[in-house]
Structure 1
């Protein structure tokens, strides 16, 4: 029996994020200004065509699936990798810390700059439309952040966790990790996350913080092939 997180993007676009989804019954995506993830009902030719029709120009769709992805000739692969999905083994205690503050649209440019510097994964100016983000500022400068991305009934993805290189080693990342996980748990949702399969340092840290490996996924970023 399949799990709701086996197709995290598709199920999020059908439920918690249906209000911002673009597309229809065969293929859906997030607005590119928010995040590049897209998903299909299945890998039938009709579903692939529906996905291709959602893309224009140089727009890229990131597709994540458990099994192999048979990309049709109408699409071009621009990036491919493997992701691991990890899930919390239990709820996290809700904590507070005066250094942590909720981030707002006024922080969006600084959040994007921090993400571009540290590369925690796909991040845009519209990322806050997926869920709340929190950060730590030093002398008014954002130096660490973390928040929520994909959501399905009963589950929420912890994402965007990063710390400026000049401020690493101070425990900011671990603090924000526990804070965001606690906020998700307080809603009654189970926390999960994704990491690049080659990032063994991060995976070991997440395991030490109470997460276990759930599954490994294939990611393909695609765009329409030029005629």
Structure 2
């Protein structure tokens, strides 16, 4: 799947592109800095690297609160903010369509949110707050009356959708749930005419091998930075 140059530029700035695009209805802030609501997640972004943009981001934070930045280059200065570099991530993009999942799954909703947060807490797929499940469609597999696995959506730049929160309960591993849900999530995103993408730590070789087996390839490395008000 060839990626249009404009989409490459959007994927280099996934948080900003999402808050300007498919998640504009969730965006807090203004033209220089935006963030997701606290109860959805810690991600924030800047329009540029100007002092005015950093000051606008600082105005969106409470004392003791941290924002997570995802950028193509690591920021080195931030007036009014303290920056902490975190481990970088690999951004991977899907390159082929996939067959529908062959296992029984359901679309998760508001009633499933407590179980979704519990599963995320057990498996740590990334930040998962009180309303993270509102970012997009989540698919789940139930076994023995409990949520055994799920896969959802997170950032939504125009023309692309991030696959996120792919996690399996420790008691239900070895059933290929992650593979089936990831494949179905990818297929559904492509069916809507969007480019699936995801983020993974370079050290997570098992997950990378799974993603590669389903046609995902590394597009580039992105930097994660924690930003909080200077004390």
- Shorter-chain-normalised TM-score: which range? over 0.9
- Gap runs ≥5 in structure 1: none
Matched residue SS, 1:13: helix
Deviation at 1:179, TM superposition (A): 1.1
Supply the distance in 1 between the matched residues of 2:192 and 2:161 (Cα, whole angstroms).
Answer: 10
1:218 aligned to 223, 226, 229, which one? 223
- Give the corresponding residue for 1:185: 190
Matched residue SS, 2:78: coil
Deviates more, 1:63-72 or 1:160-169: 63-72
Task: Give 1:93-108 correspondences, 5 Å limit.
Answer: 93=99, 95-97=100-102, 99-108=104-113
Deviation at 1:96, TM superposition (A): 4.7
Matched residue SS, 1:134: strand
- Give the corresponding residue for 1:46: 52
Matched residue SS, 1:152: coil
TM-score (structure 2 length as normaliser): 0.92
- Give the corresponding residue for 1:90: 96
Deviation at 1:38, TM superposition (A): 0.4
CA RMSD, Structure 1 to Structure 2 (Å): 1.5
Work out whether 1:68 is the aligned partner of 2:70: no
Deviates more, 1:98-107 or 1:68-77: 68-77
Supply the distance in 1 between the matched residues of 2:101 and 2:91 (Cα, whole angstroms).
Answer: 27
- Gap runs ≥5 in structure 2: none
1:114 aligned to 119, 122, 126, which one? 119
- Give the corresponding residue for 1:140: 145
Aligned residues: 225
- Give the corresponding residue for 1:29: 35
Matched residue SS, 2:11: helix
Matched residue SS, 1:61: strand
